[in-house]
Amino acid sequence: MSDSRPVLRVLGAGFHPTIQDLGRHGAQRLGIPVSGALDPLALRMANVLVGNDEGEAAIEIRLLGPTLEVAADDVRVALVGTEAALEVLGPAGNRLVPAGVSARVPRGWRLRVGAVKDTACCYLAVGGGFDLPAPFGSKSTYVRSGIGGLDGRSLRDGDMLPLTSGAAPAGRERALPADYRAVYGSGAVRVVLGPQDGWFTAEAVERLLSSTFTVSREADRMGLRLDGPELPHARGYNIASDGIATGAIQVPGSRKPIMLLADHQTTGGYPKIATVTSADLPRVGRLRPGAELGFRAVGIAEAEELRRAQEALLAEVLAGVHDAEEATSVRVSALYRENLISGVFSIGTA
């Protein structure tokens, strides 16, 4: 490998970050999951800030972010999905770039995202994206089968992440409008009942829609196991395996529901009592263990309308991306003083 090849050097990986885009569509018939960003809204916003197509692959950060060194002339980056700031560490001093604002970082400088406490996932996009193969049309990493990303796995200390572009175009940095969080929606998570709600007792459906559930510690990119009241089956818990949509809430023999997320298996043999609407999947993907949530049933036409409305809102947000003020990136000391670092990015679950 030539020294001139532009890369991000992974000095410290953090907690198993992976490369994710909007997912691998078309290969589920081969048993290959869709994968992709748990919070596709944040991914799309981060990409627009750095001048990429919305669906370019970025680094999905969970719990603890990476430390990266720029080994390119310079790169433009943006962090979206958390209130944690991006730390830019260089010979001339350190600064903090707030989430939702792009920054140009020169060769030899380092980027660091520390502990992420307000979401299960956030995204660091890089202008031009990563020069990685796209098996079945996607760079998304599916670790279990070693597909996509960098060698089919999460990032490790010492990795060299190849960049498509070795230099960032000059120009003002860009910022999301202040109210961008509105795209996520709030309140009870909206679901469409089915496809197998008929396999449950009427009481189980009533409990699903009237109870508060808590995300358990068994939570990963495949799904979230929920603690809460049991949801009893009326017809047993084994069906002939059929397809699974992202957001399906399956209930195995334990009677404890599991919300299936991006890395979910393509097919499964447990009945699915309801399915999270696609408009609410991004905020569900952000839930961390301990988060509380409730569910509300909507009809299929309403669910489709919610998604279209969300897309319209996102289009407004993206149209509202504007030049960042010079003062947007601030010296570390000032930000600590004003206690702006550890804001709460609540999704609201009342």
Partner 1 sequence: MPTEFLSCGDTALVVQFGETVDAETNRRVMGLDATIRRHAIPGIVETVPTFRSLMIHYDPRRTSREALVGEVEPLLADEGALDASFSRWTLPVCYGPEHAPDLEDVARRTGLSPERVIAVHSGVTYRVYMIGFLPGFPYMGDLPRELELPRREEPRTRVPAGSIAIATTQTVVYPCESPGGWHLIGRTPVPMFTLSREQPVLFRPGDEIRFKAVEAAEYDDIAARAAAGSFTLAPDREVSA
Q: How far apart are CA 255 and CA 204, in angstroms?
A: 9
Q: Is 161 in contact with 139 (CB distance < 8 Å)?
A: no
The CB-of-52 to partner 1 minimum distance in angstroms stands at: 20
Q: How far apart are the first and last CA of the chain?
A: 53
Site string for partner 1, 211-240 (x = CB under 8 A): ----------------------------xx
Residue 285 makes contact with partner 1 by CB under 8 A = no
The CB-of-105 to partner 1 minimum distance in angstroms stands at: 33
Scored b (16 or more CB within 10 A) or e, 250-277 reads bbbeeebbbbbbbbbbeebebbbbbbbb
Residue 252 makes contact with partner 1 by CB under 8 A = no
Residue 247 makes contact with partner 1 by CB under 8 A = yes
The CB-of-267 to partner 1 minimum distance in angstroms stands at: 3
The CB-of-317 to partner 1 minimum distance in angstroms stands at: 16
The CB-of-152 to partner 1 minimum distance in angstroms stands at: 8
* Binding-site member from 90, 106, 135, 294 for partner 1 (CB under 8 A): 135
14, with CB counted inside 10 A (0-12, 13-18, 19+), is buried
Stretch that binds partner 1, among 52-60, 81-89, 302-310, 339-347 (CB under 8 A): 302-310
Tokens 């990119």, residue located: 221
Residue 296 makes contact with partner 1 by CB under 8 A = no
For residue 65, the number of C-alpha atoms closer than 13 Å in the C-beta half-sphere is 28
Residue 143 makes contact with partner 1 by CB under 8 A = no
Q: How far apart are CA 248 and CA 259, in angstroms?
A: 6
β-bridge partners, 322: 175
* Binding-site member from 194, 289, 294, 343 for partner 1 (CB under 8 A): 194
The CB-of-136 to partner 1 minimum distance in angstroms stands at: 8
Stretch that binds partner 1, among 21-29, 48-56, 203-211, 336-344 (CB under 8 A): 21-29
For 147, the token pair is 């597909």
Number of C-beta neighbours around residue 217 at 10 A = 9
Site residues for partner 1 per CB under 8 A: 25-32, 135, 144-147, 152, 191-192, 194-196, 239-248, 265-268, 272, 275-279, 300-301, 303-304, 306-308, 311
